[in-house]
Structure 1
Amino acid sequence: MTGNKTALILGATGLVGQALVRQLLTDARYSRVICLLRRPMPAAVFDDPDRKLQPMVIDFGQLQDYEGYFTVNHVYCCLGTTLKQAGTKAAFRKVDFEYIHIAAQLTRAQRCDSFVWISSVGANARSKNFYLRVKGELENAIMRMPLLHHATAVRPSLLLGARHATRPLEDLGQKLAPVLRKVLVGKLRKYRPAYASEVAAKMILQQRF
C-alpha cells in the first residue's frame, strides 16, 4: 500500500539526484515525487510502475515564481555545480548558493515538514577555499532562517558514481576509493568517498515522517 507523503526534488538529473529519485519511487511512504528540471527528462530514465513521478521543466532563474510546486511534505535539494562547469565564481554561487537559498525560502513559505540539501564535508563560511566557503555561507544562511522547520545539510566527501562529465581529480578518487573507504575510520570517517546511493539514503533518513 502506497503512503500519502509527497516529495519535491531539485537537481534530479545529477549523480545523487538520480539515486534519490530511484529510492523515492520505491519508497512505499511516498505517493508523489515531483522533480523540477531545467530540460525535459526521458521517461525511460526511471522505472516508475506506480506512476509517482511528475517531472516539471522550469526556469531556475525565476525559481521564486514556482512556489506552488513546494506544497509537499518533504523538499530534497540536490542542486550543485563545479567552478569548471559554471565558468565563473558568480555563476557557481548562483547555483550553489542562490538557487538553494531560494528553495529553502519557498519551503518555509509553504510550511513543508522538512528541507534537506547537499552541502560538503569541510563547509566553512571562513574557509579560504571558495567552494567550501560558499557551502558554509549557505549552511549559515539556511540554518538561521526563522520558521524553516527541520532543515538539514548532508555533507558528503568525494561522490562516487558514473558521471557524464570528466573530472580528473574525481576520476583519481574513484580509483582510490576502495582503499580510502578502508583506511578512513574513526574521526576520519567523514572524509570517506561516498556512493551516490548512500548519500541519497542519508537524505531520506533526515526527513520527518
Structure 2
Amino acid sequence: MKLLLAGATGLVGSHALRLALADPAIERVIAPTRRALPPHPKLDAPQIDWDALPPDAPWWRVDAVVCALGTTMRAAGSREAFRKVDFDYPLALAQAAYRAGARTYALNSALGADAGSRVFYNRVKGELEQALAGVGFDSLTYVRPGLIGGERAQSRPGEAAASAVLRTLGPLLPRRWRINPAPHIAQALLDAALRAQPGVHAVGSERLV
C-alpha cells in the first residue's frame, strides 16, 4: 500500500506517521507538509503550500489517505481561518487524491460533528463529513475523538485544563466522554486505511479510550 498522510507534524498525525512507517503492509508513506520531516527510507515528504496544492504531482497516486489536519479557533484567529484548515484543506486533499485514484479516506473528525449544529466547531466538522461523502470514495471512515490526550508542540491552555479535570473524573464518566490518547486515534485512522471496508463508517470516542 501507498498511503498519503496529511497533518504528519501534528499530535495525532505524528503518531500516525510513526505507526505507518513501522507497518510492513505499507510500502510508502507520502506526507506533504509545510516544514521538513526527518528522513526515512519509506517516507516521501514534499514541502507544499496548502493554499496552492500541485494538481498533477505524481505523489497524489496512492491507495489510501489519512487526514489528521486540524487547528483550534484560538490558533486560527478567526472563523474563516479555522474553516480553511478544518474544511477547505481536507476536502481539497480528498478531491485531488480521488482524481489520482485513491479510493479510501480516513478522517480525524470530532465528537459532536454535526452539519446542523449551532456550535461552529461541530458544524464545520459535520459539513466536512458531508462533503467527503460526496467525493466518491469506496471506503470512508470518520474517527470522532473527544478530548485528545498527549503532549502538543503548541500549548492549548483550554485543553490542558479540561484534561486535568477528565483525568480526575475519568473512571466515573461514560467511555465516550473520557480522554482519547493520540496513539489510539492514530491507530484507528491507520486501521481504517488498511482495512478499507466498503461504505461509510464512524469510529466513536468510546472506542478510542
Indicate the TM-score class for this superposition, using the shorter chain for normalisation: 0.7 to 0.9
Alignment correspondent of 2:9: 13
- Residues 195, 83 of structure 1: alpha-carbon distance in 2 compared, 3 angstrom cutoff: same
Alignment correspondent of 1:82: 72
Whether 1:101 aligns to 2:91 is yes
Give the letter aligned to residue 200 of structure 1.
Answer: A
RMSD, aligned α-carbons: 1.6
The one-character-per-residue Cα deviations of 1:70-121 (angstroms, maximum 9, x if unpaired) are 2111111111111111111111111100011111111221221301111100
Contact 1:120 1:156 in 2 (8 A): yes
Alignment correspondent of 1:92: 82
Q: How does 1:1-209 map to 2 (within 5 A)?
A: 5-43=1-39, 48=40, 51-63=41-53, 65=55, 67-145=57-135, 147-185=136-174, 189-209=175-195
5+ residue gaps, structure 2, are 196-209
Question: What is the total number of aligned residue pairs between the two structures?
Answer: 195
Contact 2:107 2:142 in 1 (8 A): yes
Give the letter aligned to residue 105 of structure 1.
Answer: Q
The one-character-per-residue Cα deviations of 1:168-205 (angstroms, maximum 9, x if unpaired) are 221113323434442233xxx22221111000011112
5+ residue gaps, structure 1, are none
Give the letter aligned to residue 23 of structure 1.
Answer: L
% identity of equivalent residues: 37
Mean Cα deviation higher: 104-113 or 135-144: 104-113
Secondary structure (helix, strand or coil) at the match of 1:36 reads coil
Stretches (4+) displaced over 6 A: none
Alignment correspondent of 2:201: none
In the alignment, the residues of structure 2 paired with residue 180 and residue 139 of structure 1 have an alpha-carbon distance, to the nearest angstrom, of 31
